[in-house]
A = this chain, B = another copy of it.
Amino acid sequence: MSEKTIPYKIYLEEHEMPRQWYNVRADMKQKPAPLLNPETMQPITLDELSKVFCRELAKQELDDTTAYFDIPEEIWNFYRMYRPAPLVRAYCLEEKLQTPAHIYYKFEGNNTSGSHKLNSAIAQAYYAKKEGLKGVTTETGAGQWGTALSMACSYLDLDCQVYMVKCSYEQKPFRREVMRTYGAQVTPSPSMTTEIGRKINEEFPGTTGSLGCAISEAVEAATSQEGYRYVLGSVLSQVLLHQSIIGLETKAALDKYGVKADMIIGCAGGGSNLGGFVSPFAGEMLRGEADYKLIAVEPSSCPSLTRGKYAYDFCDTGMICPLQKMYTLGSGFIPSSSHSGGLRYHGMSTIVSELYHQGLMEARSVEQTAVFEAAQTFARVEGILPAPESSHAIKVAIDEAMKCKETGESKNIVFCLTGTGYFDMYAYQKFNDGVMGDYIPSDEEICKALAKLPNV
């Protein structure tokens, strides 16, 4: 199909929006390793997992054979408020780079949460409501997940308790206010409201918290209150299942215009957008139907895929969550205080980890200032100010487009623009002022953290 016929933005019609989520595990011959109960170190059972998660979500978490799950009508109707999300042809970026490559991006930032997180937030809130719960608890680092969950809970009239990493709580007061506007109760973590919070505050007076610690607090809060369950915005297989709508829509939009993607690029923190985005493409690869180059992009400051170990590890600081086999830097690894809070996690989704381990996916690590340079270039021509996390994917998309310029190839590069940077202007200010640094952990640091992996 001639290039001219492809619009700037490919919108699917409502009736073209997927009616089912896709579970890529069903097509994997070698499945991700099972989650382990931290108390018994044995594969966790549905009953055990249902103490932490809603039963329906626990089922989704453990099901690695069902390929498609119907999207409940209520969730689908909610999706209609902001989906289908556009697939944008980055004509302006292509022109700026003078590249023969064709660049596309799936824009997931067009909702108040500002990111793709809402796709799973509404699903998790829905199942909680359906189970008759009073509310849910969660943690948030950068704030995108907390914002999305607050919004979903507000819509369903469900109580929402968010443990926000203390440094974010203080540095991002406006994120906090968005959550409050949606009626959520936001507590800086570590707090004095949980046992583990009090313990950490005692051990490390003045600590500004971490994601792993906030997870522990949120899980404790969920399990100690009647009618509450814990929900999580990334890492889990249920989250990737919900986020598969990103990839399914992208594939449908490309198919609509007869475009065959050569590369699928996503940023990787816990793996939520990346896993959902690549799922249908990885599925085709697993079924031998097509071939794609899948690229995970992580920050050089927190390089779990490129420098971590594939092993069982804890997901949280308090070691009360199930263990999972994943690429990890060790749950004791403290990433530097980069401006991509959403990518500061020591581990990685088991699905993404296994796809990477099987060689179906590549991984690259990129430095912070180079990421912001890419973000600025993109913003100035494409008119969207991207989140720092999303900009990791932009950086590699630009790198690949520049390679095409050298070789003269017109490859189709598709990446996921997970969100907007409206709440990240402090980071942009550092970049604008030329005082942004890069941080790459030393081998010693990583070895030290990896030495403490549990012996499973």
Contact = CB atoms under 8 A, between A and B. Distances in A.
Given A11-B11, A155-B380, A381-B155, A432 B180 contact: yes
A92 interface: yes
Contact of A182 (B80, B114, B379): B379
A71 to B, nearest CB: 15
Interface stretch (A272-280, A340-348, A419-427): A419-427
Nearest to A423: B422
Nearest to A427: B177
Contacts of A80: 7-9
A182 to B, nearest CB: 6
A404 to B, nearest CB: 22
A82 B109 CA distance: 13
Contacts of A422: 114, 174, 420, 422-423
Number of copies of this chain that the complex holds: 2
Interface residues of A, number: 45
A182 B81 CA distance: 30
Interface string A77-91: 000111000001000
A83 to B, nearest CB: 9
B432 A383 contact: no
A425 B173 contact: yes
A45 interface: no
Contacts of A111: 383-384
A112 B385 contact: yes
Contacts of A213: none
Contacts of A174: 422, 425-426, 429
Given A7-B14, A14-B7, A383 B82 contact: yes
A154 interface: yes
A81 B428 contact: no
A138 to B, nearest CB: 18
Interface string A411-424: 00000000010110
6 contacts: A8-B14, A82-B383, A113-B383, A114-B422, A155-B383, A181-B432
Closest 7 CB pairs of A and B: A174-B425, A422-B422, A8-B80, A177-B425, A112-B385, A154-B380, A177-B429
